Every structure is written in C-alpha cells, then in structure tokens.
Structure 1
Amino acid sequence: MSAGTATVATGSNPAGVPDLTAGEDVARDIEVPWGLAFLPGGDALVAERNSGHILRVSPGRAPQQVYKVPGVAARGEGGLLGLAISPQYAENGYVYAYFTADTDNRIVRFRLDGEPEAIFGGIAKADSHDGGRIAFGPDNMLYVGTGDGGQGARAQDPASPNGKILRLTPEGGPAPGNPIPGSPVYSLGHRNVQGLAWDRAGRLFAAEFGQDAFDEINRIEPGRNYGWPLVEGMGGAGRGFIDPQLVWAPSDASPSGIAIAADTLYVAALRGERLWIAMLHDGVASDPMAQLEDYGRLRTVAAAPDGALWLTTSNTDGRGDIRSGDDRIIRFPAR
C-alpha cells in the first residue's frame, strides 16, 4: 500500500477539528445543494443545482431565496454549481456562480438585486465531468475547477479550458502571472476537479474524481501537469507528471468539496458517504481518517468565518438514499 493511500480509520478527532458530535441542521429539505459561500456577516449563500435558486442560510432562521440564476440547464451532473463571494463584497456586492447553460459551462457575476454578467464561458458541458468549484485565492484571483466533459484528451490540450484549474481576474480574464501569458490555465491534466482550498501558507490543494482506480488529493503548482488521462493515481512522477498526495478507491471517496482550517484538511465524499480528515504539515497531507458516516452522500464542506464547519448532503441528486430532511445543511461548531 502506498504511503499516500487513504485507509478507513476511525478514532478520536485530531486536535483542532470542530466538534463533530455536535452537528445541528441549519437547513433541511434543500434541493441538491452544491455551492456554498459565506457572506461577510457569516450567513451562507447556497446554490440549488437543479432549480438555479440561491438561498441565504443562517442558524435559527428559515432559508430565504435571494436570487435565481437565469439560463441554468440542469442535466446529469450539470446545473447551478459553485459559488464564490468577491473579496471586495462590502464595496462591490458581487457574487460569482459557475453553471451549466444550454451550450456550455460558464461563470457569471451579479449583485443580488441585479442581472448576471457573463465573465467566462466555453467550458464544454456534458452529463458528467462538469467540474464546477470556484473560489477566490489569497491573491484575490478567481480559481476554477473544471472537468474534461467526458473527453480525456481535453485535459492535455492547453488550448481547452476543460480538465484544468483556471486562474482568472475578477473580471474573467487570464490572471497576470499565469504560467502561459494570456492563458487562463493554471494547471492541467485533471479529470474532474470539484474541490479547491488553500492552507495558511497559501498553498493550493484540489480534490479530483478518479475513474475506476483512484480518487486524488493534489497539491497544485502553477504550470504543472497532473497526468489525466495518461495516469490515474500514483506513478506519473517518472514521466514528468505530479503524483497526488492522497489516493482512495472511488468506493471509499469520490471527493467533491474540500476545506482547510488550521492544519486540517476536510474532504466531503459522495460515493464514500463520509467525511475524510487529514493532517497538513509543511504542505503535505497525511494520516486520513474517516468520520461522519451516517449522513449519506456529502457534497460540500466549508470552514465558516467563526470557525464552524458546514456540510451539505447530496442524497437528492439521483444517486443517494434519501433520508428524512434531505437534503440538509449541517453546522458543526468550533471547539
């Protein structure tokens, strides 16, 4: 077994992990929640994949629909996917959304009282491998995880936005300092990226769905190639690719959202129906443990401004066993 291979292990929570025994439902009966991003005051915006609705969610209050993204074409894994809040939200009020339209996957930005503005498009859509996670990095640039749209060759094509992590300006252009000037591509060789998070040193980690053998957690370096479809899992380093830090069998993971708080990495697993928790030390993830195996499919995990951990289930997405109250948004308070 590789040193980077995760095993199903349980035990006491590592130091610094929120109290996973004290989960409370913040919202129930949500329709396929996907993206989740926090407003400056601590409330969350949550995207419903199929309806195109954006809900404002906070503890102790009923969810409130605050926006509907027009033009969402939900089919297969597509629909209204990732959300991100502008780092200058207090000044400009912008919310960003990644969604599947009739012809492509695209990114728009909008104010909650205004019309959407398309800032990036042309990401090939499909019934699967649509990617969809977006997040602002420590550099205030917008990072985008895309999928290969079911055609692995796109991941190795530097001219295609598919199978990539993109780095964009807030206006949607290629960010300055990208590996290839004038290109939005930050890294390539990805199958289906749905998790993005940075540690406190500013290092980027990403979660990637594997095919039949290995799901991955990768540390992302600009301009590097992560191997898909030529390599799945470990074994690409000798051929010029970057090996993942952690791998799982897809039945144990199928990782979607990830979050980092202090020196802990959290990975929401869909098919694996659990939360994976790994330690971070000097930019290396290790010692993963499985927790929270009673909620079903987990789509998104996010660290809130107050130190709490938020999770969304994904049991109403057509692939899960629906439990009472699904889908749910669950909050685990900081210790």
Structure 2
Amino acid sequence: MDFRKQKLSIAKAKEMDMVQYLSLLGYEPSKIRNNDYWYVSPLRQEKTPSFKVNRKLNRWYDHGLGKGGNIIDFGIEHYGCSVGEFLNKLNGGFSFQKPLKNIPKIENEPEHQLKILKDVALSSYALIRYLKQRKIPVEIAVKYCKEVHYELNAKSYYGIGFKNDSGGFEIRNPYFKASSSPKDITTVKNGSKEVAVFEGFIDFLSLRALHKNLPENSQDIVVLNSVSFFERARPFMEKHQAIRLYLDRDPTGQNLTQRALSMSTKYIDKSSLYQNHKDLNDWLMHIGKQQKKRLGNKL
C-alpha cells in the first residue's frame, strides 16, 4: 500500500513494520535473535546495542531510556513532535511497504537493507524534473549530488544521492526518502571563518540556488542529515567564528536552534528569512523572483 496516496490514520500507522521503518531512516540491526532485532539506539548515543524491536509484536523498547511503545511513540520521541506532526511526516515524507499484518512472520528473517549498486552523474529525466520542481538548478545539483542506483527488498530503484562524510548517501526521489549506511553528517570545507548549517541537503542546495554567483569558498557547510547528529557536528562547527543556522521551522528545528543560541554567541539564527514556511526550500518554492531580489545580501 502506498500511504502517500491517502491520509494515514493512527491505526494504520501502528501497523507499519518498525524494522522496515528504521531501515528507511538508515538504522540497521546489529544482531537478530528470533523475533528480536537489536540496534544501537537511534534515540541517543551508545556503543552497545540496547534498543530492541520485537517484530512479532511490532513494539520497541530502549533499555537505556526505559521507554518503549509502538511506531507512533517512537516517532514522537525521535522527532520531538506531536502525534499529528508525525502522521504528517508519514504522509508526506516516505514511501512504505505493506502493513505488518500482511507480512509473514519468519524467524531470523534477514533485515531489509538498502544496498547501493552504483552512483553515476545525474542524468535521469525524472530526477532532473524533480529538482526543477524544487527550484534547484541542475548545474548546482550536479556539483554536490549523484544519481544513486540502489536495491531494497530485492527490487532496484534510483534517486538523487548526497554523500556524507562516512560514505553513506541521503537519497531522494519524487516518491521516496531514505538513507544508506553508514549515516553521518556532510561537511564542505572551504577554509572559511563562517559555516552554514542545514538539516538536509535540499535546503543546502536551495541556498546555493539563491546565491549562484556567490563564491563557493565564501563559507564552509554542514548538512546534519539528521538533527540527532548536531552534537557530532559541534566540534567542526565551533571552529568557526560565525555559525549560521538554516534549520527547519518545525518544533524540532526551532528547539534545536534555541538550544544552540543558548550555548554560544557564535550561533546565528537565519530561519527568520523563511518564517512563514517550514524550511528554506519550501520558501524558495513559494516565493517569486521579485521577493528573492528584495532580500539581496541579507542571506
């Protein structure tokens, strides 16, 4: 069932397979024992896997936090959002497989791991059209992205791939949003005293689109690829004299921005530029060329 084509109810969301959902987020089990899938916790930093998903029950439990529940409970904890906001993420952000009740229960079933087959220069008409819909010029995207061909559940797909510092990819196409392992931040080092920080690579490309003529070495870049990697990015960010935050305007992004501002005067909140939109790309898609020109050098 393709949940993008209909609004997802709480009951339907609870039927989603937790193991598949975690795989779409880039998390793969460290070990599998019968129906128990053990992970390094996606909710906190740890070295020994203590986050368990019982696939038969479709429930999770984080032994380090002492918390657990269904996929909605996980989403609220992971994104720091409400039930409604998480359902919106499910409706708009991912393409899912069949609900759990339609998946046979197989002991020691291998994990559904996304496997990168190859990465090549961007050339797919569908992907280029998707970039144009997001107002991202192709000549900018090809500098930072690849066309990634990957395999998931024995089927082949392709998407726009943005590489992280550990060699994994963030993958986007018109219907799918996922990550390949290993997950990590992406840094672009230009030797600048300033760094711009984004949650995802589409927002980074959006800023480049807004400043096509700006020298690429005018600032360094950090793409978190997940807000959970903020702490991982801090050592690199805080080497700079100015840290410009272009984080999302949702509660998670705004809470993280406020936390950063409270830690150091180096952090500068730039999200007021798109205050009536969910993120920088959403603003770019809805604001006309005249309004872009009005902003001038404010970015």
Q: TM-score, normalised to structure 1's length? A: 0.25
Larger Rg: 1 or 2?
2
The structure with the greater share of residues assigned to strand is 1
The structure with the greater share of residues assigned to helix is 2
Larger RCO, structures 1/2 (Cα 8 Å, 6+ apart): 1
Q: TM-score, normalised to structure 2's length? A: 0.27
